[in-house]
Amino acid sequence: MSFVEYGDTIKDGDTAIVFLGHESMFPVKVQHGSVTQTKYGVIRHSTDLIGKKYGSKVTCSKGGWVFILHPTPELWTMNLPHRTQILYSTDISIITMMLELKPGSIVCESGTGSGSLSHALIRTVAPTGHLYTVEFHQQRAEKAREEFREHGVEHLVTVTNQDVCKNGFGVSSIADAVFLDIPSPWEAIGHAKSALKAEGGRICSFSPCIEQVQRTCLALEESGFTEINTLEILLRVYNVRTVSLQIPDLGKAAEDNSSPGFDSSSPSHQGSSCANLQQGTVQFKSGVPLREVVGHTGYLTFATKS
């Protein structure tokens, strides 16, 4: 099992995603002899998981069932253990596009955090690229190394435990892109410039506060970066559901009454007139926005090394 190479069957030691529903799923490390409790009953790894194909429908001990999914960066973002605040797929997608990442790219990242963006970057640059990620907190750095090893991507990533603002990324003039998610990104702009290749490298900084963005943009300009721009991604989700609306009265009954040959005294015509005047309802599918929408997550500042 690897987050960048798809496998057909579930093996001992794999990380799998137990899917109970779109709003209910969780990761599990498959181990011979282990069991996993769900609201539908027990899943026995030895008999229910190992050797089965990913995507299989597994029946639990109480008769309910779940699906076992192959892990992907997108699923991991939704289910990972939170050691820090993380980036979600909305921001991750624009980051990978605006940094112009592709297989073979060299990327520097700080800080690693919970590894949400890291997994997406690794999948994007695989199989010949590499991610150099720097984490200031020692325990988080060690946990990130452990997860990358368990997920089969340790050959594509180098985790360093140091202060990027003081010591940089540990590489020079090789990176195609640099990503910063730290409290004071303006202090790391010089090290980012040193890590980027001679010309054309891209940098992205994620900051929740506009004051951080202002200082970062000034530092980028002073360091000679060009094409500096900041954007904010706001996601609005719609639920598709059935709604009922009243049919409007467009005056059809009045038109019928005035038409030639209409006999209002006729019982059949009286019944038709009454039916037309009755207001009915019609049901149809409609997209309705959520009542509570996740708003601001952070500002993304991009620039190019000139």
Tell me whether residue 245 is in a domain.
no
Tell me whether residue 36 is in a domain.
yes
* Residue closest to 19 by CA, chosen among 2, 36, 1, 5: 36
List the structure tokens of 158.
């180098």
**Beta-strand relationship, 24-29 and 15-21:** antiparallel
Indicate which CATH number applies to the domain containing 103.
3.40.50.150
Which residues, at least 6 apart from 168, have a Cβ–Cβ distance to it below 8 Å? Answer: 188, 191, 194, 195
List the structure tokens of 220.
């980028």
Instruction: Let me know whether 223 and 81 are in one domain.
Output: yes
Instruction: Let me know whether 63 and 87 are in one domain.
Output: no
Instruction: Provide the percentage of residues in the chain whose pLDDT is more than 70.
Output: 91
**Which of the four pLDDT bands, split at 50, 70 and 90, describes residue 203?**
very high
Whether pLDDT at 273 is above 50: no
Instruction: Let me know whether 210 and 148 are in one domain.
Output: yes
User: According to the model, what pLDDT value does residue 253 have?
Assistant: 56
Tell me whether residue 271 is in a domain.
no
Instruction: Let me know whether 132 and 209 are in one domain.
Output: yes
Q: Which of 49, 71, 93 is the last residue of a domain?
A: 71
Tell me whether residue 274 is in a domain.
no
Annotated binding site: 114-117, 135, 181
Instruction: Let me know whether 167 and 185 are in one domain.
Output: yes
Least confident of 82-96, 119-133, 203-217, 229-243: 229-243
Tell me whether residue 218 is in a domain.
yes
User: According to the model, what pLDDT value does residue 236 have?
Assistant: 86
Q: Which of 32, 51, 71 is the last residue of a domain?
A: 71
Whether pLDDT at 201 is above 90: yes
In whole angstroms, give the CA distance from residue 212 to residue 188: 13
The pLDDT of 183-205, averaged and rounded, is 96
Least confident of 55-59, 112-116, 195-199, 276-280: 276-280
Tell me: the pLDDT tens digits for 161-172? Answer: 999 999 999 999
How far is CA 112 from each of CA 139, 157, 158, rounded to the nearest angstrom?
11, 11, 11
**Full domain range(s) for residue 103:** 75-234+295-305
**DSSP category for residue 69:** E
Tell me whether residue 49 is in a domain.
yes
Instruction: Let me know whether 55 and 108 are in one domain.
Output: no
pTM for this predicted structure: 0.84
Instruction: Let me know whether 180 and 154 are in one domain.
Output: yes
Whether pLDDT at 151 is above 70: yes
Indicate which CATH number applies to the domain containing 38.
3.10.330.20
Instruction: Let me know whether 27 and 150 are in one domain.
Output: no
Whether pLDDT at 78 is above 90: yes
Tell me whether residue 262 is in a domain.
no
The pLDDT of 18-25, averaged and rounded, is 91
Our count of domains for the chain comes to 2
Instruction: Let me know whether 67 and 79 are in one domain.
Output: no
Tell me: the pLDDT tens digits for 103-118? Answer: 999 999 999 999 999 9
Instruction: Let me know whether 55 and 86 are in one domain.
Output: no
Tell me whether residue 42 is in a domain.
yes
Whether pLDDT at 17 is above 80: yes
Annotated binding site for S-adenosyl-L-methionine: 114-117, 135, 181
User: According to the model, what pLDDT value does residue 277 have?
Assistant: 43
Instruction: Let me know whether 60 and 138 are in one domain.
Output: no
Which residues, at least 6 apart from 208, have a Cβ–Cβ distance to it below 8 Å? Answer: 296, 297, 298, 299
In whole angstroms, give the CA distance from residue 208 to residue 296: 8
Instruction: Let me know whether 89 and 104 are in one domain.
Output: yes
Q: Which of 45, 71, 97 is the last residue of a domain?
A: 71
